[in-house]
Structure 1
Amino acid sequence: MLILIMGLVIFFCVHSVRLVAPQWREASFSQQGAMRWRVRFGLITLLATAFIIMGYLQMRAEPVWLWFPPVWSRHLAALLMLVALFFVGSAVIPNTTMKKKIGYPMLIAVKVWAFAHLISNGNLADVLLFGSFLVWSIVSFVVYRRRDRKAGVVREGESGVPFDLAAFTFAMVSWFTIVFYLHQSIIGVSPLV
């Protein structure tokens, strides 16, 4: 459990710099240069992700069950993942309606992903992993939206159906790939069983 918690703490500390110290981040970014900042950020993120995976796998080897989710929760989670992947597509594809309207579709994707996995998994490792991501994404979204409103941020730019269709296509292709191939081969569990 300690390795998982250590990985989560490192991950969230690194990913919360912009949240809690935006001026320091910008100053460091300009002093060190974009490439150096991104390399350090990426290496620390990789380290944290490795700790999270190792700790999660250790805890899953000897699970501590908090509840036993009903079978239908897996099917609901699979459907929610389609929604989460649409928000991922909306975040990575420029000029989508979701990006223009809410500003932070990737945080919405993390919220939906974490919630979907919380309802369909009931052991302590899942609660620690997905619960912490859910709390972090909710807090981050609220802080960023409040900061944007205070600063009077208006998202300009052309959004439209072609960009949203691209996000939807991304979601469908990703969902089918994950559900019918990747989830089973990487995680070892089929989301549809």
Structure 2
Amino acid sequence: MTGWTEYTLALTIFVASHFLPRIGGLRDRLIGAVGRRLYFSAYGFLSLTLLVWVIVAAGRAPYVELWPQAPWTRWMPNIAMPIATVLVFCGFGLRNPYTLGGKRDAIIDPEKPGFAAVCRHPLFLALALWAGAHLVPNGDLAHVILFGSFAIMAVAAIPAFDAKARRTLGNGAAPYFGATAILSLRPFADESWRAANARPLAIRTAIGLLIWTAALHLHTLLIGVSPFPA
């Protein structure tokens, strides 16, 4: 496949994979057949594989420059990605059913919101950081479409999920939004919050930074482009 064909196909299949399971209750039937854990494990692996394909296909697409890559722009992903990776590992299994990656059967306690006090949508924020930071040094048309689309979707998803939480919680929405935040560092100044969350947060942060370090050094091998500013 040459030209834009592979990129268009990869992007189309990736988008379709996120919408088709919702048509006609297909996702619910699959979950009923194989179980929730197996379904989402397989679905997550498929999504990650398709995402890698989209990124690789974008690199193979014809180069149509919209803005040049200045040397300083490569610092943007290197600054943002450690934060984004930590947010990802803090977001998986978050005791907040009203966000991506949160436990669907969890009942969030406004008195003990956990990491949701820092960020109630860490996966969406991580996706926005990843896409926005990579958009800056990649000013060709294929990558602008790729990273721009992901950044817009991630940012748009936050108010959409918050609106769903308001509808679901009703009168309980005010305590939920009062105890959580889009992004706040204030919980770190709260001694009781630190006492309850410091250990799991430290473990998840260490894992996130370890994975980021590995991804940084494997970036050239897997993506074909060096992430280092020099």
Query: Which TM-score bucket, shorter chain as reference?
Result: 0.7 to 0.9
**More moved, 164-173 vs 7-16:** 7-16
What does the per-residue CA deviation read over 1:4-36, in whole Å, with 9 as the maximum and x for residues that have no partner?
233223323333568xx5993664345433267
In 2, Cα distance between equivalents of 1:85 and 1:107: 12
In 2, Cα distance between equivalents of 1:43 and 1:72: 34
Task: State whether residues 93 and 167 of structure 1, in contact with CA within 8 Å, keep that contact through their aligned partners in structure 2.
Answer: no
Aligned equivalent of 1:160, options 197, 204, 207: 197
CA 12–137 in structure 1, closer or farther in 2 if over 3 Å, else same: farther
Q: Which secondary structure state, in structure 2, belongs to the residue aligned with residue 64 of structure 1?
A: coil
TM-fit CA distance, 1:190: 3.0
TM-fit CA distance, 1:162: 1.0
Whichever structure has more helix as a proportion of its residues is: 1
In 2, Cα distance between equivalents of 1:183 and 1:63: 20
Unaligned runs of 5+ in 2: 96-112, 180-192
Aligned to 1:151: 168
Task: State whether residues 85 and 211 of structure 2, in contact with CA within 8 Å, keep that contact through their aligned partners in structure 1.
Answer: yes
Q: Does 1:8 align with 2:45?
A: no
In 1, Cα distance between equivalents of 2:58 and 2:64: 12
What does the per-residue CA deviation read over 1:141-170, in whole Å, with 9 as the maximum and x for residues that have no partner?
2222211122117599x9611121122212
Task: State whether residues 94 and 163 of structure 1, in contact with CA within 8 Å, keep that contact through their aligned partners in structure 2.
Answer: no
CA 13–3 in structure 1, closer or farther in 2 if over 3 Å, else same: same
Q: Does 1:190 align with 2:227?
A: yes
Task: State whether residues 183 and 191 of structure 1, in contact with CA within 8 Å, keep that contact through their aligned partners in structure 2.
Answer: no
Aligned to 1:84: 84
Aligned to 2:185: none
Aligned to 2:150: 133
Aligned to 1:65: 65
Over the matched positions of the two proteins, sequence identity in percent amounts to 20
In 2, Cα distance between equivalents of 1:127 and 1:70: 16
Aligned to 1:109: 126
Q: Which secondary structure state, in structure 2, belongs to the residue aligned with residue 89 of structure 1?
A: helix
In 2, Cα distance between equivalents of 1:183 and 1:39: 24
What does the per-residue CA deviation read over 1:108-135, in whole Å, with 9 as the maximum and x for residues that have no partner?
1111000000012111121121111112
Aligned to 1:173: 210
- 2:35 partner amino acid: A
TM-score, normalised via structure 1 length: 0.76
CA 165–23 in structure 1, closer or farther in 2 if over 3 Å, else same: farther
**More moved, 38-47 vs 125-134:** 38-47
Unaligned runs of 5+ in 1: none
Q: Does 1:56 align with 2:93?
A: no
CA 57–37 in structure 1, closer or farther in 2 if over 3 Å, else same: same
**More moved, 46-55 vs 124-133:** 46-55
TM-fit CA distance, 1:80: 0.7
Task: State whether residues 6 and 51 of structure 1, in contact with CA within 8 Å, keep that contact through their aligned partners in structure 2.
Answer: no
Q: What is the number of equivalent residue pairs in this alignment?
A: 187
TM-score, normalised via structure 2 length: 0.65
Aligned to 1:32: 33
What does the per-residue CA deviation read over 1:54-96, in whole Å, with 9 as the maximum and x for residues that have no partner?
532321xx41111013222211221011111111121236569
